[in-house]
Amino acid sequence: MKRKGLINGIRLIVLSTMIGLLSFQSYAAKTMDAEASAGKKLFEGSSSFLNGGPACISCHNVNHSELISGGLFAKDLTKVYDRMGEGIAGWLGAPPFPAMAASYQNHPLTENERNKLMAFFKSANEEKKDSVCIPFVAEVLTEVK
Ligand code: HEC
C-alpha cells in the first residue's frame, strides 16, 4: 500500500514536469518572434507589401491562434512549411500558379517580405505540432488515479 502511494507520487512529479514543459513549449510557439509576427501582418494585410500586391489571406487560410480565418479559394497553408520548408521564400519570388502569378508579377514580393512570410509559416506549423500533445497529456492524466 505504502509503495503504491510512492509510485503515484513519482507519477505525479513526472506528470507535472511534463505539463510544465508542454505549456512552456506552446507559450514559446505562441509568442512569435519579430520576424514571424511581421510575416503574419503581411499575410493578413494589416501591413501592406512594398510593391502593392494583395494580402495572401484573400485567397488562403492558415489556422493560427492569432489570426482570423482566411480565404478558401486556394490551398490551406497551415502546414505548408512541412511541405515546402525554407524553399517557400524562393518559391514566392516566382509562383508557378496562374492565379498567384497574375496577382504578383507586377507587384513582386521583396526578399525581406518573403523571408518574413516564411517565418510566419514556420511558426504556424510549430503551433499545430503542439496541439498534438494535448490528447497525450489527457491520456496520462486518466491513468494517474
Ligand atoms: C489571387 C489568389 C491568391 C493570392 C492573393 C495568393 N495565392 Fe497562393 N495560391 C493561389 C492558388 C490558386 C494556388 C495553387 C494551389 C491551389 O489551387 O490552392 C496557390 C498556391 C500557393 C502555395 C503553394 C501551396 C502548396 O502546398 O503547393 C503557396 C506556398 C502560396 N500559394 C503562398 C501564398 C502567399 C504567401 C501569398 C501572399 C503573398 C499568396 N499565396 C497569395 C492563389 C493565391
Cα(144) to ligand 1 centroid in Å equals 46
DSSP for 58-125 reads GT-----TTS----SSS---TTHHHHHTTHHHHHTTS--SHHHHHHHSSSPPPHHHHHHHHHHHHHHH
- Average the pLDDT over each of 10-19, 86-95, 122-131 and give the range with the smallest value: 10-19
**Would the pTM of this model clear 0.85, i.e. be above it?**
no
Q: Which residues line ligand 1 (CB under 6 A)?
A: 54, 56, 58-60, 73-75, 77, 80, 83, 88, 92, 97, 99-100, 103, 109, 117
Domains and CATH numbers, the chain: 2-143 (1.10.760)
Contacts made by residues 3-6, CB under 8 angstroms, sequence distance 24+: none
pLDDT at 40 over 80: yes
pLDDT at position 16, please? 67
CB atoms inside a 10 Å sphere around CB 62: 24
Supply the mean pLDDT for the chain. Answer: 84
Ligand 1 atom closest to the CA of 80, numbered from 1? 26
Q: pLDDT for 103-120, tens place per residue?
A: 999 999 999 999 999 999
Average pLDDT over residues 92-112: 96
